[in-house]
Amino acid sequence: QVQLVESGGGLVQPGGSLRLSCAASGSIFSMYAMGWYRQAQGKRRELVATITRGSSTNYADFVKGRLPISRDNAKNTVYLQMNRLKPEDTAVYYCKADLRTISSMSLGNYWGQGTQVTVSS
Protein backbone atom coordinates (compact mmCIF):
# COMPACT_ATOMS: atom_id res chain seq x y z
CA GLN A 1 0.00 0.00 0.00
CA VAL A 2 0.98 3.60 -0.56
CA GLN A 3 0.26 6.57 1.68
CA LEU A 4 0.66 10.28 1.05
CA VAL A 5 0.61 12.34 4.22
CA GLU A 6 0.39 16.12 4.08
CA SER A 7 1.37 18.49 6.87
CA GLY A 8 1.96 22.19 7.44
CA GLY A 9 -1.50 23.66 6.96
CA GLY A 10 -3.14 26.04 9.37
CA LEU A 11 -4.43 29.55 9.98
CA VAL A 12 -2.30 32.48 8.80
CA GLN A 13 -2.85 36.19 8.38
CA PRO A 14 -2.90 37.80 4.92
CA GLY A 15 0.64 38.36 3.73
CA GLY A 16 1.95 35.51 5.85
CA SER A 17 3.68 32.28 4.89
CA LEU A 18 3.26 28.55 5.32
CA ARG A 19 5.18 25.54 4.09
CA LEU A 20 3.27 22.41 3.14
CA SER A 21 4.94 19.01 3.02
CA CYS A 22 3.74 15.75 1.58
CA ALA A 23 5.60 12.51 2.18
CA ALA A 24 4.89 9.35 0.21
CA SER A 25 5.57 6.00 1.84
CA GLY A 26 4.84 2.31 1.39
CA SER A 27 5.50 -0.15 -1.39
CA ILE A 28 6.85 2.35 -3.89
CA PHE A 29 8.97 1.16 -6.79
CA SER A 30 9.48 4.52 -8.47
CA MET A 31 8.13 8.06 -8.22
CA TYR A 32 7.32 10.33 -11.11
CA ALA A 33 5.54 13.69 -11.11
CA MET A 34 4.23 15.10 -7.85
CA GLY A 35 1.97 18.07 -7.39
CA TRP A 36 -0.31 20.20 -5.29
CA TYR A 37 -3.97 20.88 -5.93
CA ARG A 38 -6.50 22.84 -3.92
CA GLN A 39 -10.23 22.91 -3.44
CA ALA A 40 -12.02 25.88 -1.96
CA GLN A 41 -15.44 25.45 -0.45
CA GLY A 42 -18.06 25.16 -3.16
CA LYS A 43 -15.49 25.07 -5.96
CA ARG A 44 -13.80 22.42 -8.07
CA ARG A 45 -10.37 21.07 -7.25
CA GLU A 46 -7.75 22.96 -9.23
CA LEU A 47 -4.08 22.59 -10.03
CA VAL A 48 -1.62 24.70 -8.07
CA ALA A 49 1.74 23.33 -9.20
CA THR A 50 3.47 20.17 -10.37
CA ILE A 51 7.09 19.04 -10.43
CA THR A 52 8.73 16.20 -12.30
CA ARG A 53 11.39 13.90 -10.92
CA GLY A 54 13.92 16.05 -12.74
CA SER A 55 12.47 19.16 -11.04
CA SER A 56 10.77 20.69 -14.05
CA THR A 57 7.85 22.72 -12.74
CA ASN A 58 4.45 23.86 -13.94
CA TYR A 59 2.30 26.45 -12.19
CA ALA A 60 -1.26 27.72 -12.35
CA ASP A 61 -1.52 31.32 -13.50
CA PHE A 62 -2.70 32.55 -10.10
CA VAL A 63 0.52 31.37 -8.40
CA LYS A 64 2.60 34.20 -9.92
CA GLY A 65 5.78 33.23 -8.12
CA ARG A 66 4.21 33.17 -4.66
CA LEU A 67 3.98 29.39 -4.19
CA PRO A 68 7.20 27.67 -5.31
CA ILE A 69 7.11 23.88 -5.42
CA SER A 70 10.10 21.67 -4.69
CA ARG A 71 10.84 18.03 -3.91
CA ASP A 72 13.34 15.75 -2.23
CA ASN A 73 13.56 12.56 -4.27
CA ALA A 74 15.51 10.74 -1.56
CA LYS A 75 12.64 11.32 0.86
CA ASN A 76 9.77 10.93 -1.66
CA THR A 77 8.57 14.30 -0.41
CA VAL A 78 7.13 17.32 -2.17
CA TYR A 79 6.90 20.80 -0.66
CA LEU A 80 4.86 23.91 -1.36
CA GLN A 81 6.27 27.14 0.05
CA MET A 82 3.34 29.53 0.35
CA ASN A 83 4.33 33.21 0.48
CA ARG A 84 2.35 36.47 0.48
CA LEU A 85 -0.82 34.51 1.18
CA LYS A 86 -4.19 36.00 0.31
CA PRO A 87 -7.68 35.23 1.65
CA GLU A 88 -8.51 33.70 -1.74
CA ASP A 89 -5.82 31.08 -1.13
CA THR A 90 -8.04 29.58 1.57
CA ALA A 91 -8.72 25.97 0.59
CA VAL A 92 -7.95 22.35 1.34
CA TYR A 93 -4.61 21.55 -0.30
CA TYR A 94 -4.03 18.05 -1.65
CA CYS A 95 -0.84 16.47 -2.87
CA LYS A 96 -0.76 13.99 -5.71
CA ALA A 97 1.92 11.58 -6.82
CA ASP A 98 2.30 9.50 -9.95
CA LEU A 99 4.14 6.33 -9.04
CA ARG A 100 4.62 2.63 -9.62
CA THR A 101 4.12 0.21 -6.75
CA ILE A 102 6.31 -2.80 -6.08
CA SER A 103 3.37 -5.17 -6.17
CA SER A 104 1.67 -4.23 -9.41
CA MET A 105 4.33 -2.14 -11.21
CA SER A 106 1.49 -0.26 -12.84
CA LEU A 107 1.56 3.53 -12.98
CA GLY A 108 -1.10 5.10 -10.82
CA ASN A 109 -2.17 8.40 -9.27
CA TYR A 110 -2.25 8.65 -5.51
CA TRP A 111 -3.72 11.44 -3.39
CA GLY A 112 -3.17 12.66 0.12
CA GLN A 113 -6.00 13.31 2.55
CA GLY A 114 -5.68 17.08 2.30
CA THR A 115 -4.60 19.83 4.67
CA GLN A 116 -6.61 22.97 5.41
CA VAL A 117 -5.07 26.37 4.76
CA THR A 118 -7.03 29.35 6.02
CA VAL A 119 -5.90 32.91 5.33
CA SER A 120 -7.75 35.36 7.50
CA SER A 121 -7.15 38.30 9.77
Kindly tell me if the per-residue pLDDT of 57 is higher than 90.
Answer: yes
pLDDT in tens, 58-98: 999 998 889 999 999 999 999 999 999 999 999 999 999 99
Show the CA angle centred on residue 67, arms to residues 79 and 56, nearest 5°.
65
Contact, 7 vs 20, CB < 8 A?
A: yes
Percentage of residues in the chain having pLDDT higher than 70: 100
Q: How far apart are CA 121 and CA 117, in angstroms?
A: 13
Mention every residue, 6+ apart, whose C-beta is less than 8 A from residue 62.
none
Q: What is the mean pLDDT of the chain?
A: 96
Q: Does residue 105 carry a pLDDT above 90? A: no
